[in-house]
Amino acid sequence: MSPSVRAAHVAAASLNQTVGDWAGNARRIRAALDEARDRGARLLVLPELCISGYSLGDRLLMPGTLDRSWRVLDQVREHTAGLVAAVGLPVRHHGVLYNAVAVLADRRLAGLVVKENLATGDVQYENRWYSGWVRGRVQEYACPDGSRVPIGSMLFEARGLGRFAIEICEDGWKGLRPGSVYALAGAQIIANPSASWFELGKHRVRRRMVQQISGEDHSVYLYTSLLGCDATRLIFDGSVFIAHGGGVGAEGRRFRFGADHEMVDRVVDLDTLSHARTEEGSWRQQLEALQRGDFGPVPPTIQVEGDFSTGRDPGAPGPYWTAGLDDEPADPSLDWLHSAGLVARPPTPPDLPHLELELALCLGMREYLTKCGIPGVALALSGGRDSTTCALLLHRMLRYDAPEATPAELRELAAERLLTAYMATDHSSGATQAAARAVAETIGSTHHEAVIQSAVDTHLELAHTLTGQRLSWADHDIPLQNVQARLRGSLIWLLANIHGFLLLATSNKSEAAVGYATMDGDTSGGLAPLSDVPKSLVELWLRWARDFHGYTVVDRVLSVPATAELRPGESGQTDEDDLMPFFVLDQLMFQFVQCGRDPVEMFRALWPALHDHYRGDARAFADHIGKFVRLLCRAQWKRERFAIGFRVTAFDLDPKTGFRFPPVQAPFQEELAELDTLIETLTAPTR
């Protein structure tokens, strides 16, 4: 085998997999292998746990999951003629479950690399099922057919590829990365098969990470992740990179609707990396330290049989004075949207958070509907901000999922798949009814309108029959509000059931935080797309969508203050009067949930910025803090019952995956008393 490889042809691909879809997952892997082979690539890296799907949950505890994963691996192995492929699956070794990547080479299994750093915390819970591998350990793995292969921390060497190594997802995000040791041990190509879920802004963090790693390690860094939703809650945007010596040489398109995979490939120059390592003194020092054993045992190198050389040349680099200059657009992974005619203009940096949010939620809804075999969606349109946002996102979902459709065809599709309804009571206004009708017309949904006051009156009469009481606004404010919301929930469920559609719940993250939602009313639904979107962001997205997509109907919706319209009109009910300004509520939510601050710490952190808004009235702000904390604690039981949602921001309130908060507790009485003492000190007159 030649000790020096000048160029290697490598590829990385995202995959849209589904938990337990063994035949489908295998088919998509084979399709990616075929495309890589057609492109001339000799090494293909596929995402973490792509054989089984990542979000397995307690299916991992079922022996059949491991057995079927291995059967798919055997099928895929037979499809790797002329290729080296990294394919992820769960394996059990000596009675312990591990997250592993199989290295397949020309129909043979060369070895299994195991994840060292488990992703645990926030929505990640890997150590419930897996154990992390001990760095530097290599053992023999007994395959089901009786053959044995190495398992653990190792490098691989193949003719035409040189030395390459694998670190799995979380391994690449740690300061003490296994990949750095592999690079010192001679690996010039480092692969990171991941299942990195989406959140706003995370893609740019990934991009910087792969650039930095490839520069520091003088390596080719292949990064790939899953695409779509392999189960629920987590959305995968399908990031794919090939970085080389500190620059991104290839970057895949994200948010590919209806695509089974997205692939990038490059012929990479390995000679330049070898030279950079040779001339760098600090590299030589660290290499000596590795050989002394300062970083633990030197990982062994597994020789891979076969010749995976490429006849292609990496080409000449650009002018040396451009090295390190990043003149790419703000997010090249989204440029395809404009070229495909899916957005009206190329997105600029200010567009990115809103466009990413839209794409993630649209992809999540599309995946949920498609993979669950649901033909359409029902939505209660109130004429307000939340239901309008859901409606416009559904319209965008259809647009992304049918990119070739003409406007007339899109309207026909919307009429078939989207059902909306406005259900008025005596407290509903003509303004919200007209806004809801205009939104339905904009998206092309099949729209229904009805006055349901007679149903409300019937319920109140039945309540009188049952209890002997006549309900009044003076004494029964909450029951009189809730009966309207619950009747709407019951009716929209009925319409959804008639068509076999999925009902969307429209509650947003801010309302979920403080329980400003009627259980079995506006919380009704099987999927809650806005459950991780704070109210402040809902309004910002609407304003952006008006300008970016031309949804002029947004002006009609925003012309009315946010209101539930559940009290008599003369009360002037608004959501912010019931609660507090949403921009304040959303900051309190961030401080309490994400930062873990108690009431006094929240006050100290936010008061300087909010002083002018409250005109120096510290007591008014403290009252809002107290109200927020009490409502949040009392509302945990509601959050336990909310519909499934998608994680799209830095933290969420989902008690199953995100904010695990006790539903029974003392709601911070002592801490709020300390805040009262602080306010008294601040407001005491000075002598």
Res 61 pLDDT > 80? yes
Return residue ranges of the chain for CATH 3.40.50.620: 337-570
Q: What is the mean pLDDT of the chain?
A: 93
| The predicted structure's pLDDT at residue 281 | 86
When pLDDT is averaged across residues 660-677 and rounded to a whole number, the result is 92
Question: How is residue 588 written in tokens?
Answer: 């309190």
Distance between CA atoms of 134 and 114, rounded to whole angstroms?
A: 9
Q: Select the more confidently predicted residue: 684 or 644.
A: 644
Report how far apart, in Å, the C-alpha atoms of 676 and of each of 601, 620, 622, 631, 670 are. 13, 11, 8, 18, 10
Q: Are 165 and 300 in contact (CB under 8 A)?
A: no
Q: What is the pLDDT of residues 11-22, one digit of tens each?
A: 999 999 999 999
SS3 of 316-363:
CCCCHHHCCCCCCCCCHHHCHHHHCCCCCCCCCHHHHHHHHHHHHHHH
Mean pLDDT of 520-547: 96
Q: What is the pLDDT of residue 415?
A: 98
Could you give the residue range(s) of every CATH 3.60.110.10 domain in the chain? 8-311
How far is it, in rounded angstroms, from Cα 433 to Cα 383?
6
What tokens appear for 104 in the block? 């397949």
As a whole number, mean pLDDT of residues 402-419 equals 96
Q: Does residue 631 have a pLDDT over 70? A: yes
pLDDT of residue 292: 87
Asked whether residue 328 carries a pLDDT value surpassing 70, the answer given is no
pLDDT of residue 4: 60
* Percent share of the chain, pLDDT over 70: 97
CB atoms near residue 76 (< 10 Å): 23
Element spanning 268, H or E = strand 261-269
Q: Is the pLDDT of residue 2 over 50?
A: no
Position 289 pLDDT exceeds 50: yes
Question: Looking at residues 524-532, what average pLDDT do you find?
Answer: 96
Binned at pLDDT 50, 70 and 90, residue 3 comes out as: very low
pLDDT at 283: 86
Backbone φ and ψ of 156, nearest 5°: -125, 150
The Cα 491–Cα 380 span in angstroms is 9
Q: Which residues contact 612 (CB under 8 A, 6 or more apart)?
A: none
Whether residue 266 is predicted with pLDDT greater than 70 in this model: the reply is yes
Q: What's 196-223 look like in SS3?
A: CCCCCCHHHHHHHHHHHHHHHCCCEEEE
319: confidence class by pLDDT, cuts 50, 70, 90:
low
User: pLDDT tens-digit profile of 565-615?
Assistant: 999 988 899 999 999 999 999 999 999 999 999 999 999 999 999 999 999
Per-residue pLDDT, averaged over 369-389, amounts to 97
- What are the Cα distances from residue 657, in Å, to 18, 125, 232, 344, 652? 19, 8, 11, 36, 8
Please identify, in words, the CATH class of the domain defined by 8-311.
alpha beta
What is the assigned CATH class of domain 337-570? alpha beta
Residue 330, pLDDT above cutoff 80: no
Query: Can you give the pLDDT at residue 686?
Result: 60
For the stretch 69-117, pLDDT in tens is 999 999 999 999 999 999 999 999 999 999 999 999 999 999 999 999 9
Q: What is the mean pLDDT of residues 393-398?
A: 98
Q: Is residue 685's pLDDT more than 50?
A: yes
Render pLDDT for 212-253 as a digit per residue (tens, 0 to 9). Answer: 999 999 999 999 999 999 987 999 999 999 999 999 999 999
Q: What is the DSSP letter of 132?
A: P
In this predicted structure, the answer to whether residue 363 has a pLDDT above a threshold of 60 is yes
Question: Average pLDDT, stretch 424-451?
Answer: 97
- pLDDT higher than 50, residue 636: yes
Q: Is 421 helix (H, G, I), strand (E, B) or coil?
A: strand
Residues 6 or more apart whose Cβ sits within 8 Å of residue 516 = 510, 575, 578, 579, 631
| Per-residue model confidence (pLDDT) at position 121 | 80
Residue 70: the pLDDT is: 97
Q: Is 559 helix (H, G, I), strand (E, B) or coil?
A: coil
Burial (Cβ within 10 Å: 0-12, 13-18, ≥19) of residue 129: middle
Average pLDDT over every residue of 644-671: 91
Cα 317 off chain centre by:
36
Is a pLDDT exceeding 70 seen at residue 326?
A: no
**Token representation of residue 341:** 């005619």
What CA–CA distances, in Å, run from 429 to 31, 196, 488, 554, 573?
A: 55, 45, 16, 17, 12
pLDDT of residue 341: 94
pLDDT at 164 over 90: yes
* pTM summary value: 0.93
Residue 284's pLDDT is what? 87
For residue 473, give the DSSP letter: T
Whether the per-residue pLDDT at 317 is higher than 80: the answer is no
**Type of residue at 382:** S
Lowest average pLDDT, out of 30-34, 38-42, 279-283, goes to: 279-283
Residue 321 reports pLDDT greater than 80: no
